[in-house]
């Protein structure tokens, strides 16, 4: 028997929108999708970053603040006008305010939940209305977190937002399966990005967190990007409503 044929461009002909694609995990995901053949549109809340993303992927800037329904509608309309079709979505943009629960302010809570949960709901449903109306078969990957699966210190708001996102993934997958729309999530461990720098640069706590990961290292953006590309592609065509935990074994305990 010959060697199995591997398609080097499994996402060729697909068009993806990746939120928060300007740096860190979002940038790695966007690069991974582009390498797999997809046309990539990356969004940012500021024009300068959006323009840099557009230049990198030879598309157009998408300015989008997912916390605002008006901004979501405008950003999606602009992307669709240029692309003609978007059939892949990665909800990556997220924030964290790492504080003990008793120190969290109402504003802290709203910032985290509005970005990580409400924003995903607004953007995904906006695109889903278009997909359902046009009969587009699409795939979504939400970037959740192991903090949505197990309790982690200083993650009350963040963990609540990601636990909600994991459940939202299931509900949307259930409601939209008949329309040919798959919705999945990934739940990474601590990944070395700007978002986690304030945590991983604290030596004692970083050492404690690392001791909880059986594989013995923190994640790198590329560890997550490949999983996202897989879940968006045809090899995952029977997978929906699932959360792939990418944690080096953290949640085994």
Residue 156 lies in a domain: yes
Q: Would you call 228 exposed, middle or buried from its count of C-beta atoms within 10 A (0-12, 13-18, 19+)?
A: buried
Residue 206 lies in a domain: no
Residue 154 lies in a domain: yes
In the predicted structure, residue 20 carries a pLDDT above the cut 80: yes
Between 195 and 97, the more confident residue is 97
pLDDT score of 2? 61
pLDDT score of 94? 94
Which pTM does this prediction carry?
0.95
Average pLDDT, the chain: 95
pLDDT digits (tens, 9 = 90+) for 57-69: 999 999 999 999 9
Residues marked active site are found at 158
CA atoms within 13 A on the CB side of 234: 12
Query: What's the CATH code of the domain at 44?
Result: 3.40.50.720
Residue 208 lies in a domain: no
Start-to-end Cα distance in the chain:
42
Q: How confident is the model at residue 3 (pLDDT cuts 50, 70, 90)?
A: low
Max CA separation in the chain (angstroms):
63
Q: Give me the phi and psi of 41, to 5 degrees please.
A: -110, 125
Residue 2 lies in a domain: no
Residue-level length of the chain = 253
**How many structural domains comprise the chain?**
1
Residue 187 lies in a domain: yes
Q: How confident is the model at residue 4 (pLDDT cuts 50, 70, 90)?
A: low
Yes or no: say if 27 and 194 are a contact pair by the CB < 8 Å rule.
Answer: no
Residue 215 lies in a domain: no
Residue 178 lies in a domain: yes
Q: Where in the sequence is the domain holding 167, given as residue range(s)?
A: 15-191+221-246
């Amino acid at each position: 028997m010959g060697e199995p044929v591997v398609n080097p461009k499994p996402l060729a002909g697909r068009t993806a929108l990746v939120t928060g694609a300007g740096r860190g995990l979002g940038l790695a995901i966007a690069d991974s999708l582009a390498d797999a053949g997809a046309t990539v549109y990356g969004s940012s809340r500021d024009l300068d970053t959006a323009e840099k993303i557009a230049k990198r992927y030879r598309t157009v800037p998408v300015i989008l603040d997912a916390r605002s329904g008006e901004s979501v509608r405008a950003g999606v309309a602009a992307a669709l006008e240029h692309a003609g079709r978007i059939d892949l979505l990665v909800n990556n943009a997220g924030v964290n305010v790492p504080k003990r629960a008793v120190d969290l302010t109402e504003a802290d809570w709203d910032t985290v939940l509005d970005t990580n949960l409400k924003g995903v709901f607004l953007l995904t449903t906006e695109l889903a209305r278009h997909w359902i109306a046009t009969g587009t078969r699409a795939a979504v990957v939400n970037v959740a977190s192991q903090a949505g699966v197990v309790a982690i210190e200083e993650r009350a708001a963040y963990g609540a937002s990601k636990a909600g996102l994991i459940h939202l993934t299931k509900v949307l997958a259930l409601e939209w399966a008949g329309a040919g729309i798959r919705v999945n999530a990934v739940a990474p461990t601590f990944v070395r990005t700007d978002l986690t720098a304030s945590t991983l640069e604290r030596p004692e706590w970083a050492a404690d967190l690392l001791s909880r990961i059986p594989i013995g290292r923190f994640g790198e953006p590329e560890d997550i990007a490949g999983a996202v590309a897989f879940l968006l592609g045809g090899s995952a065509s029977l997978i929906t409503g699932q959360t792939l935990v990418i944690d080096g074994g953290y949640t085994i305990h």
